[in-house]
Amino acid sequence: MRVLVTGAYGFVGNAVVRRLAEARHDVIAMTHRPSGASLSSAPVASTVHADLLSPEQLRKAVHDVDAVCHLAALTRVRESFERPDDYEAVNHGGTVALLDACAAESVRAGRPLRIVQASTAAVYGVPERQPIDEQTPPRPTSPYGKTKLAADEELIRRTTAGAVGAVILRAFNISGAVASVGDADLTRIIPKAVAVAAGQASHVDVNGDGSAVRDFVHVDDLARAYVLALQACEPGTHAVYNVGATGASVSNIVAATERITGRPVPVIHHPPKQEPATLLSDTARIRRELEWKPERSSLDEIVADAWEAVTAAHS
C-alpha cells in the first residue's frame, strides 16, 4: 500500500516507517519541518511538507494514498496544562482536518482509506482497576489526554460513514530506540536516566520512594503493531487496542540504567505526589486479534537501546 505517515521523522515515526518499508509498503513521510531541514535516513518513498492545520496541504498529502498512520501530535502531559489551546488545535483540530482530507480523497478515488491512529493510555486517566483494558471508561485527567480522546472519538464517528476503516493504538510508555533514533524528551524517565548516565543531566528527580510502577513498550514493538493494525483495517469498522509490555518502577529503571551503562545515576527524592501506585496495560485483545506480542520490551533491552542512541548521537 501507499501509506502516508504523519510525524514520520519523530521518535515513533522513524520506527514505524522502517517497519512499514520492511513490510514492502511505499511510505510517504509527512513532516511540518521546512524543506532542507535535517531529516533521518528512514527508508521513505517520498517526503511531503504539510501542516495539520493547513487543509489545503493535507488534501495534497493524502492524494493517491491507500492508508494513513497518524502519529503527529503534541505529547507532553505537563506542557498540555500550560498550552491547552495548542493541544486542542493540533491533537483534536488537526485530526479533524486530516480526516476531512481523507474523506474527500475517498470520494475522489472511489474507495475507502485505512487509518491507524496513535493514541495514548492517557485517555484512561487513573482507573482503580488494573491492568487497564480497552473496556475501561476513558476519564482523562490532562488536556493532552482529553484532546487525544476527542481525536479517537472523531475517528470512530467517521468509520460509520464507510469512508475509512480505523484502528486506534493506545500506547503506554514508549521507549528504546531504532536505528540509533531514541526519545529526546527528558521529561520522560528512561530518556532522563540515560541522559544522566551520559553526563548530559545531573540527576533524576523522583517523587516519593520511586516505587510507582508504569507500563513500558519498546518503540520497535509498537511499530510492528502499526503494520499489523494496517492489515486489519476494514472499511466502515473500527477497533481499539492497548499496546504495552513491561511494568517497571522508577527505582527499577535507575538500577537498570546503572547496571547497563556502568555509570552512576544520582537521584534526588522529593515529597510524594498524589499518583496511582500502578498503571499497567491489559494487552490480551491485541495479542488475540492481531497476534501481536512484544519481542524487544524487556526493561534491559529498552534501556540498552536508549543508551546506544544517546552514545551514538554524541560519538
Within-domain flag for 162: yes
Residue 46 β-bridge partners? 28
Grid cell in block for residue 284: 490480551
Q: Are residues 110 and 200 in the same domain?
A: no
Cα–Cα dist 235/225, whole Å:
19
Q: What is the pTM of this model?
A: 0.96
Length of the chain: 315
Asked if 255 and 249 touch (Cβ cutoff 8 Å), the reply is no
H or E, element range at 156: helix 143-159
Q: Is 124 a catalytic residue?
A: no
What gap in Å lies between CA 162 and CA 24, rounded to an integer? 26
Residue 14 domain boundaries? 2-174+216-243
pLDDT of amino acid 43: 87
- Report d(CA 76, CA 87) in Å as an integer: 9
48 and 162 belong to one structural domain? yes
Element (H, E) at 314: none
Q: Is 41 helix (H, G, I), strand (E, B) or coil?
A: coil
Looking at residue 315, its pLDDT comes to 66
Q: Are residues 25 and 147 in the same domain?
A: yes
Residue 235 · residue 168 · CB < 8 Å: no
Report the C-alpha gap between 111 and 103 in whole angstroms. 10
In a domain, 285, yes or no: no
Catalytic hit among 9, 87, 124, 144: 144
Task: Note whether 228 and 208 are same-domain residues.
Answer: no
Domain identity same for 169 and 182: no
Show the low-confidence residues of the chain (pLDDT under 70): 34-40, 315
Tell me, yes or no, whether 64 and 102 share the same domain: yes
pLDDT tens by residue, 53-106? 999 999 999 999 999 999 999 999 999 999 999 999 999 999 999 999 999 999
CATH number at residue 74: 3.40.50.720
**Both 119 and 256 in a single domain?**
no
Confidence at residue 104, expressed as pLDDT on a 0 to 100 scale: 95
pLDDT (0 to 100) of residue 194: 98
